[in-house]
């Protein structure tokens, strides 16, 4: 069987504990795994347990103080929506690192494409702020990696979510090397993403 699709998952991403009743909880990821296994699709992909992203890779889009705050965040709320637990920092590094592992395998033509079933999510995370369930902006880490390590001239990010990816937009809205398109409902959290927001400068 041609295993041209990669499936990136790590059990430690389930250790990011957001507390009872939180909408972004381990069961969301477990439900994906259970359904894929139930319908036999897990047998048709090549599974990979990813590495942690290194600090210098996360520092592409994020400030060093932000990374240090996430590393030392005590268990509990970071803000009204975003939580930290003893397993959160490692899970966040795995979520970012998983995107980089997927890039490497697609780049080397070992995979045709990849699905990264990882958490915490990322598109609300700003350069210096965790928010909206997100600690690090995983796709922004990936875009920086493509530019820096692979020499890619331009990167396109298509964000399909009920909420606008404010963090991703803000990180790249003055960067002509990254095209960011968001498909979302508006106005919803976080209140950004109007049709008039088209980037700034070049």
Residues marked active site are found at 124
Collapsing DSSP states into helix, strand and coil, what is residue 199? Answer: coil
DSSP 54-102: PHHHHTTTS-HHHHHHHHHPPSEESSSS-EE-TTHHHHHHHHHHHHHHH
Is the dihedral angle over the CA atoms 180, 165, 91, 115 positive or is it negative? negative
Chain centroid to CA 13: 12
**Helix, strand, or coil (residue 39):** coil
Measured CA to CA, the distance from residue 96 to residue 50 in angstroms comes to 9
DSSP state of 12: G
């Amino acid at each position: 069987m041609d295993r041209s699709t990669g499936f990136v998952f790590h059990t430690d991403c389930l250790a990011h504990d957001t507390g009872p009743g939180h909408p972004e909880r381990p069961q969301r990821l477990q439900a994906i795994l259970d359904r894929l296994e139930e319908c036999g699709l897990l047998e048709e992909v090549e599974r990979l347990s990813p590495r942690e992203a290194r600090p210098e890779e996360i520092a592409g889009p994020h400030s060093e103080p932000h990374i240090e705050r996430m590393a030392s965040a005590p268990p509990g709320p970071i803000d009204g929506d975003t939580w930290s637990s003893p397993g959160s920092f490692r899970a966040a590094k795995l979520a970012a690192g998983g995107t980089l592992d997927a890039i490497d395998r697609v780049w080397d033509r070992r995979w045709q494409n990849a699905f990264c079933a990882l958490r915490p999510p990322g598109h609300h995370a700003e350069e210096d702020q965790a928010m909206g369930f997100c600690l690090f902006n995983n796709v922004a880490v990936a875009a920086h990696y493509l530019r820096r390590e692979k020499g890619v001239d331009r990167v396109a990010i298509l964000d399909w979510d009920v909420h606008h990816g404010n963090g991703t937009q803000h990180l790249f809205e003055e960067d002509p090397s990254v095209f960011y398109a968001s498909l979302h409902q508006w106005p919803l959290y976080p209140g950004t993403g109007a049709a008039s927001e088209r980037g700034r400068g070049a």
